[in-house]
Amino acid sequence: MAARSFRTWTPTAIAPLAFGLVVGGLPGAFVAQSEPAIGQFELKGLEAEPGEVEFQSQNAWSFGQPRRQYSQEEPGAYVYDDNSVTRQRHALEIEMSLTHFLRMRVGIEYEKERFDEPPSPGLANAFDDLQLTEVALEGVVILRKIPEAGGFGFGVLTEFEHPIATGELNSVLFGPILGAKAGKWSALLNVMFVKHFGSGEVTDEGLERDQKWDIAYAAQIKYDFNTSWALALEAYGTFDRIGNSGTPGEGALAFGDHDQHRAGPVAYYEWRVGGGRQARAISHSSGSSVASLDMQDEGQDGEDDEGVLMRLGTGVLFGLNNNTPDTTLKVSLEAEF
């Protein structure tokens, strides 16, 4: 999301509740004007079971932020770079599989962003409060699922993102989802073309809107140790302003655009809450019946398929260039019903 102008703002009544949910417990969020499109650090997969509902909490905290560049155009008037810098980001999302090939998601996002237009260089690296910044709607069409025995799959992602702040631009994302599996190894790649559009912000010089194109990506190589534990190497990044698209603002003209790239290890743990093995009667040739555990509805290694499937992911992503924070702590919590 774009950082907001320096101002006093009181968080909404639901902000503390949502913050408590995501911290006590997830593409995407993007820009207005000229900032690079930086979203949630999550992969979009190729699974869908009709009627399945999933609650997701995606969270990230960044440390070692890049210092902001600025220049004085005239006495008292400064121009600042347009890099997208966020100290923390929390998304609450609900996802539902409508068919075997269509999955939908709706979500809200809270961010603690750097001020867009600070009144002085002394506040160039200051951050606003944690605030509700965006609502988003996502759809995934699965054209080919990854076979359980191994192989390739692919699909298409489309997402619309609407910022809460007045004057910021909407974003639409679309692109392919590619997946593969071989034994205990699996891989995912999301490539997203990001188009910024909307009215933009009204300034003294007129309407300021940078309707540029970005390309964002998310990639993962994962190894499943068993049905509970997995370790992945993940990478996320953005190529800012493709093909000289859009209309650069003063910050982009003065300091250029800002690609961001980060990568690091992420561990995942899955477990089930509730449910239990159910007994069923098995008739023997003698005509008698005995109670036996129903193993047909259980997963590998005797894992029960009943109850709520919980999935916790945590890892550290390291910045790969000067525009990116040094480290980002990624924590996700998902509950699948």
Domain contains 7: no
Task: Kindly give the pairing relationship between strand 170-182 and strand 151-163.
Answer: antiparallel
List pLDDT tens digits, range 5-18.
Answer: 433 333 333 333 33
**Identity at 293, one-letter amino acid code:** L
Domain hosting residue 173, numbered range: 15-336
- The total of other beta-carbon atoms located within 10 Å of residue 80's CB is 22
Segment of 84-88, 117-121, 127-131, 217-221 carrying the highest mean pLDDT: 217-221
HSE, side-chain direction, 13 A CA sphere, residue 46:
24
Place of tokens 């799959």: 153
CATH code for position 209: 2.40.160.40
Domain contains 136: yes
Contact 217, 192 (CB under 8 A): yes
Domain contains 316: yes
* The predicted structure's pLDDT at residue 2: 42
Q: Which residues of 253-286 are buried (b: 16+ CB within 10 A; e: fewer)?
A: ebbbbbbbbbebebebebebeeeeeeeeeeeeee
Domain contains 6: no
Residue 208 has pLDDT above 50, yes or no: yes
Domain contains 259: yes
pLDDT band at 204 (very low <50, low <70, confident <90, very high): low
| Average pLDDT over every residue of 283-306 | 44
Residue 122 has pLDDT above 80, yes or no: yes
pTM above 0.75, yes or no: yes
Contact 133, 164 (CB under 8 A): yes
Residue 142 has pLDDT above 60, yes or no: yes
Percent of the chain past pLDDT 70, that is, above it, reads 78
Average pLDDT, the chain: 82
List pLDDT tens digits, range 295-310.
Answer: 444 444 444 567 899 9
Total of domains in the chain: 1
Instruction: Give the angle subtended at the CA of 260 by the CAs of 130 and 22, to the nearest 5°.
Output: 30
* The predicted structure's pLDDT at residue 203: 55
pLDDT band at 201 (very low <50, low <70, confident <90, very high): low
| Average pLDDT over every residue of 267-274 | 95
Residue 322 has pLDDT above 80, yes or no: yes
Structure tokens at 292: 């036996």
Residue 150 has pLDDT above 60, yes or no: yes
Domain contains 2: no
* The predicted structure's pLDDT at residue 66: 94
d(CA 236, CA 57): 18
Residue 274 has pLDDT above 60, yes or no: yes
Instruction: Give the angle subtended at the CA of 207 by the CAs of 203 and 213, to the nearest 5°.
Output: 120
Domain contains 120: yes
| Average pLDDT over every residue of 183-192 | 98
Domain contains 313: yes
